[in-house]
Copies of this chain bind each other. A is one copy, B any other.
Amino acid sequence: MNLAQFNREIAEIRADRVRGASELARRCLAVLMEAARALPETNSAGLREDLLALAAELAGIRPSMAPVQNLLRRWREGLAIEADLELAVARQMAVERAETLIAASRRAVADCAAQAADLLGPGRTVMTHSLSSTVLEVCRLLKDRGLRMIVTESRPLEEGRHLAERLSTWNVPTLYITDAQMGVFVAQADAVLVGADSVLVDGAVVNKAGTCLLALAARERNVPFYVCCESFKRREAGEPPPELEEMASAELSVPAWPGVTVRNVYFDITPARLVSAWIDETGVRRSSAGH
């Protein structure tokens, strides 16, 4: 992989609207693996410097996504490349470090989904917003256990379509609605289950825009609101408040009316007090508010 290829990879990760935060974090680690194998360096010190610079660049491109930050930081922290290390060994160490973290991330997501499936149990109607790979895995685990789903389209790019299509192939009875109908249908759900891009220190949840509306509607109708994501998605204490990424206004497909600014903020923040329980790979933490 040459520099042009790395730059293309980085551009793709930056522009990616389909993959979730965990998957993009693993893709960043895969870029580092490839770099560790292929960067044209002649000694370990140079390799280490190149890799750390690349890791810093990768960390900067998806600021709303905590796992990108967390997994890259863990990778950097575990990168024990001494200057006198043989280059081939240094390359191998960097690769293995990334492989270990990719495996840990996958395992955490799978365990997290299993915890959520246990909490929900069989025969439930579950509502979600946007497309979370963790929620998708929960659906897979429950698809033969009487699961029914309510899925929002999730404008502007309508990730809900992918979810509805998958649920259809699994024969999970599904209602598909516009985002605006969340308030009409939430009362039909036994629970709301969403993924997250990040969870803040106080438990607030950064997720696709519209999530906080669903949380408000769920609270209004006394439907439990569960957030399901692996602990790599937790932000560390002391980190600055998350920047909410904004994407191209062209995604809304409207004309350029003079004086009208088209906004396309991808994420919103759901306050912790609207969350009934946080589910991660270690278990379920219920809100102290007791709802």
Contact = CB atoms under 8 A, between A and B. Distances in A.
Interface of A: 151, 153-156, 161, 164-165, 167-168, 171-185, 208-210, 212-213, 216-217, 220, 244, 252, 254-255, 257-265, 268
A259 B216 contact: no
Given A153-B155, A155-B180, A184-B265, A168 B260 contact: yes
| Chain copies in the assembled complex | 2
B259 A173 contact: yes
A106 to B, nearest CB: 28
Contacts of A165: 255, 257
A263 B210 contact: no
Contacts of A265: 177, 181, 184-185
A213 B217 contact: yes
A287 to B, nearest CB: 17
5 closest A-B pairs by beta carbon, nearest first, are: A180-B210, A168-B257, A216-B216, A183-B212, A155-B178
Given A171-B259, A179-B179, A164 B254 contact: yes
Contacts of A151: 260
A7 to B, nearest CB: 31
Contacts of A164: 254, 257, 260
A260 to B, nearest CB: 5
Nearest to A260: B174
B178 A252 contact: yes
A179 to B, nearest CB: 4
Contacts of A176: 252, 254, 257, 260-263
Given A175-B262, A176-B262, A178-B210, 11 more contacts: A155-B155, A165-B257, A168-B260, A176-B263, A179-B180, A180-B210, A183-B210, A183-B212, A183-B268, A185-B265, A213-B216
A273 B214 CA distance: 19
